[in-house]
Amino acid sequence: MKALYGLYVDAAGAQRAFDLLRSASSELKLRSQQIVVVAGEPHEGYEFFDAQATSTPYRWAVLGAAVGGTAGYLLTTLSQKSYPIHTGGMSLTPAWTNGIIVYEMIMLGAILTTLVVLLIGAGLPNFKGVIADPEVGKGKILVGVVDPPEGLEPELERRLQQAGAWQVKRSATLQP
Amino acid sequence: MQTTAEQIEQDLLRPLFHSSGKYWIAVAIATSLLLAGVAAFGYQLYAGIGVWGLNSPVFWAFDITNFVFWIGISHAGTLISAILRLTNATWRRPVTRCAEAITVFSVLIGAIIPLCHIGRPWLAYWMIPYPSERHIWPNFRSPLAWDFFAISTYLTGSTTFLYLPTIPDFAAVRDVSTGLRKKIYRVLALGWQGTPRQWQRLEVAMHIMAVVIVPVAVSVHTIVSWDFAMTLVPMWHSSIFGPYFVAGAIFSGIAALILAMALLRKFLHLEQYLRPIHFENLGKLLLTMSLLWFYFTFAERLTAWYGNSPPEMAVFWESIRKNFAPLFWTMVVCNFIIPVPILAIKRLRTITGTAIASATVVVGMWLERFLIVVPALEHKFLPYSWGTYRPTWVEDTLMASSFGMMALLYLLFSKFVPMISIWEMKVGLQSHAGVPMVAPAEGQVALEGPQ
């Protein structure tokens, strides 16, 4: 896997490069998955960033909470019914105290689901290799193309420069 | 003051690559304390739990005091961090990770203490509900079973809450490291790249976690208070205990956070990031909690005094006028008399001032936990069963060791993880209230406003 990318000093430059690459994707035979943006911090308010926004994790968290709560309810009531103890005439499955366990399990379900949904949604863990550049840590934003089409590299480089790249780099090996 | 993303990364990664002699001295002291505790615990396992000062009628003392104290301290992090994140308080950025780390380590220490107390820690897994051949299930009516579920959930939640925003920083360390260190951080970073999709998912996950963790934190200390309130012991069986404990936990948590931040600022040279404004803001919170603590303490005592029930009054006068009076009034001085003037007068609300106030609050809140537990157990309903309690060297050592463990975990954490979130500080460079701001010149922009 190769990559050709430009480094931009600000999000506006990165947005220009992203727009240029996207508008030229049919001309340059680029698939949207080939265009990559890497930043050292989030950039809210820019299309290249906000286009990835999603509310799906919220729904999953609610579902996880429901599953956790159901598990808590079943855990308490089924065990209390399976192994009944003498309660002196009081309820064998007291809602007040079981409710505390159910509550904690609701929260645990939401927490674990959020974690799993984040990992799946963000494609983690991923040890196959990532595009990384030390300049990203210094505040630059990387916009580029993974596996650029043969022969179109000079044109891509020109467009990345045109968007105001601080530097354009060809990375033959990706950082593990 | 001009700060760049590059400078932020250099400053905040520096402690991971370079440590002073003072750091290693602190590690040695903390390790010694921890080892002393391990030795004391080993002696306790060998000789039995009778080496503690516990006896009828006081079956809980230092252990439950330390348990409640550390679980209370844990409210520093996750709760404060979550509230500040939800309210989008921009000054939170240098504070959150210091706070979240306190939470994880203090919950961990709090969770270890009951293991010491049960006497046979190798049977602790009996608390885990699973279909065993013994056909014994946890008693879900018992507050101790509630504790197990609440603390497990809180520990899972706070560890997740700490780890998630640390992933991009692990990646930052990975990208500037070599050799074994690079391999370790490569695993910790999970292959984080920094694509918009990853950032979006992380931010949504952090938002959900912040929403979920606040009620969990409140429930944990409420349930800890129910360990007492569900028991028919004078001065314990009270509906005020839930909010009283939660307020006390937040109070001690903020104090611990201020202390930790003051030490980090000095020893890791983070003066540019942990600024007076952070101490001032946290100092105002601490002042609010000090007043709230006084209100709860007064309300609790007033209700007991006005009721004039003999069993409750025995405990009441014991703590205010008799054997425990020195501890009680020290508590009032530490939690109210000293911190309130320091924190209320702007000129005194400096870094040193807030650190002094916080130190007294930490001491005062430990005393408060002790005073809730021991006087009440010494004076139950029937005077024939009254007794006294004196801690032994084993309990003293275990308590000191819990502080050593906290210090050691925190010190080691600061060696492996940037104590201030690098990426969140960089966000502070580029935006004001979420409005993107183009850098005026190559990466050279000022840190945001009020700081």
For chain B, domain boundaries: 2-128+139-446
pLDDT band at A118 (very low <50, low <70, confident <90, very high): very high
In sequence order, the β-bridge partners of residue A169 are A5
Fold annotation for B2-128+139-446: Formate dehydrogenase/DMSO reductase fold (1.20.1630)
Tokens of B209: 């976690």
pLDDT tens digit sequence for B179-216: 898 889 989 999 888 888 899 999 899 999 999 999 99
Interface test with chain B among A114, A128, A133, by most B beta carbons within 10 Å? A114
Any CB–CB contact under 8 A between A36 and chain B? yes
- Is pLDDT at A42 greater than 70 in this prediction? yes
Q: Which of B150, B200, B429 sits opposite A52 (nearest CB)?
A: B200
pLDDT tens digit sequence for B140-166: 888 888 998 999 999 999 999 999 999
Dist. CA B374–CA B368, nearest whole Å: 10
In sequence order, the β-bridge partners of residue A3 are A146, A171
| Set of chain A residues whose Cβ sits within 8 Å of the Cβ of B5 | 40-41, 137-139
Interface test with chain A among B88, B140, B152, B173, by most A beta carbons within 10 Å? B140
- Is pLDDT at A59 greater than 60 in this prediction? yes
Tokens of A37: 């943006």
Run of H or E including B430: helix B422-430
pLDDT tens digit sequence for A131-160: 778 888 888 888 888 887 777 878 888 888
Query: Which region, left, alpha or beta, applies to residue A124 given φ > 0 means left and ψ of -120 to 50 means alpha?
Result: beta
Residues 103-142 of A with CB under 8 A from B: 103-105, 107-108, 110-112, 114-115, 117-119, 121-128, 130-132, 134, 136-140
Distance from CA of A27 to the nearest CA of B (A): 24
B196·A176 Cβ contact <8 A? no
Residue B163, pLDDT score: 93
Choices 2.40.50, 2.60.40, 3.90.550, 3.30.70: CATH for A3-52+128-171: 3.30.70
Q: Are B167 and B205 in contact (CB under 8 A)?
A: no
Distance from CA of A44 to the nearest CA of B (A): 7
pLDDT band at A72 (very low <50, low <70, confident <90, very high): very high
Which amino acid appears at position B447 of this protein?
Answer: L
| Set of chain B residues whose Cβ sits within 8 Å of the Cβ of A124 | 167, 190-192, 198
Residue B186, exposed/middle/buried by CB under 10 A (0-12, 13-18, 19+)? buried
Dist. CA B41–CA B121, nearest whole Å: 11
Report helix, strand or coil for B411: helix
Q: Are B298 and B270 in contact (CB under 8 A)?
A: no
- Mean pLDDT lowest among A1-10, A58-67, A108-117: A1-10
Q: Are B98 and B261 in contact (CB under 8 A)?
A: yes
Which amino acid appears at position B414 of this protein?
Answer: S
Dist. CA B176–CA B169, nearest whole Å: 11
Tokens of B316: 């009441």
Residue B295 has φ and ψ, to the nearest 5°, of -60, -50
Question: Helices marked H in B268-337 — which ranges?
Answer: 276-307, 310-320, 325-332
- Is pLDDT at B101 greater than 70 in this prediction? yes
Q: How far apart are the first and last CA of chain A?
A: 12
B190·A112 Cβ contact <8 A? no
Q: Which of B135, B191, B196 sits opposite A48 (nearest CB)?
A: B196
| Set of chain A residues whose Cβ sits within 8 Å of the Cβ of B180 | none
- Is pLDDT at A3 greater than 50 in this prediction? yes
In eight-state DSSP terms, residue B3 is: E
Dist. CA B25–CA B34, nearest whole Å: 14
Nearest CA in chain B to A68: B153
Task: Give the start-to-end residue ranges of the domains of chain A.
Answer: 3-52+128-171, 56-121
| Set of chain A residues whose Cβ sits within 8 Å of the Cβ of B190 | 119, 124-126
Other Cβ atoms less than 10 A from the Cβ of B40: the count is: 22
Could you tell me which residues come within 8 angstroms of residue B194 by beta carbon, excluding any fewer than 6 positions away?
A38, A39, A40, A136, B168, B171
Nearest CA in chain B to A120: B201
| Set of chain B residues whose Cβ sits within 8 Å of the Cβ of A176 | 186
Residue A28, pLDDT score: 74
Nearest of B145, B238, B233, B140 to residue A87 by alpha carbon: B140
pLDDT band at B431 (very low <50, low <70, confident <90, very high): low
The residue among B363 and B59 whose pLDDT is bigger is B363
Q: Are A101 and B140 in contact (CB under 8 A)?
A: yes
A134·B140 Cβ contact <8 A? no
Q: Which of B136, B202, B219 sits opposite A103 (nearest CB)?
A: B219
Residue A1, pLDDT score: 67
Task: Find the length of chain B.
Answer: 451
| Set of chain B residues whose Cβ sits within 8 Å of the Cβ of A131 | 193
Distance from CA of A117 to the nearest CA of B (A): 8
Q: Where are the beta strands (DSSP E) in B31-168?
A: none
Q: Where are the beta strands (DSSP E) in B285-392?
A: none
pLDDT tens digit sequence for B435-445: 433 333 344 44
Dist. CA B189–CA A154, nearest whole Å: 34
- Is pLDDT at B406 greater than 60 in this prediction? yes
pLDDT tens digit sequence for B126-138: 877 776 676 667 7
Interface test with chain B among A7, A104, A128, by most B beta carbons within 10 Å? A104
Residue B78, pLDDT score: 80
B137·A79 Cβ contact <8 A? yes
Dist. CA B63–CA B242, nearest whole Å: 20
| Set of chain B residues whose Cβ sits within 8 Å of the Cβ of A9 | 439, 442-443
Dist. CA B57–CA B47, nearest whole Å: 21
- Mean pLDDT lowest among B264-273, B286-295, B333-342, B351-360: B264-273
Q: Are B159 and B177 in contact (CB under 8 A)?
A: no
Nearest of B120, B121, B84 to residue B100 by alpha carbon: B84
Any CB–CB contact under 8 A between A90 and chain B? no
pLDDT band at B448 (very low <50, low <70, confident <90, very high): very low
Could you tell me which residues come within 8 angstroms of residue B35 by beta carbon, excluding any fewer than 6 positions away?
none
- Is pLDDT at A65 greater than 80 in this prediction? yes
Any CB–CB contact under 8 A between A98 and chain B? yes
pLDDT tens digit sequence for B59-97: 888 889 999 999 989 887 788 888 888 888 878 888 888
A125·B176 Cβ contact <8 A? no
- Per mean pLDDT, which of A13-22, A48-57, B346-355 is the most reliable? B346-355
Q: Where are the beta strands (DSSP E) in B257-395?
A: none
Tokens of A52: 């990835």
A90-98 average pLDDT score: 87
B204·A58 Cβ contact <8 A? yes
Give the max Cα distance, chain A.
85
A111·B160 Cβ contact <8 A? yes
Dist. CA B435–CA A43, nearest whole Å: 10
% of chain A at pLDDT higher than 70: 96
B438·A10 Cβ contact <8 A? yes
% of chain A at pLDDT higher than 90: 23
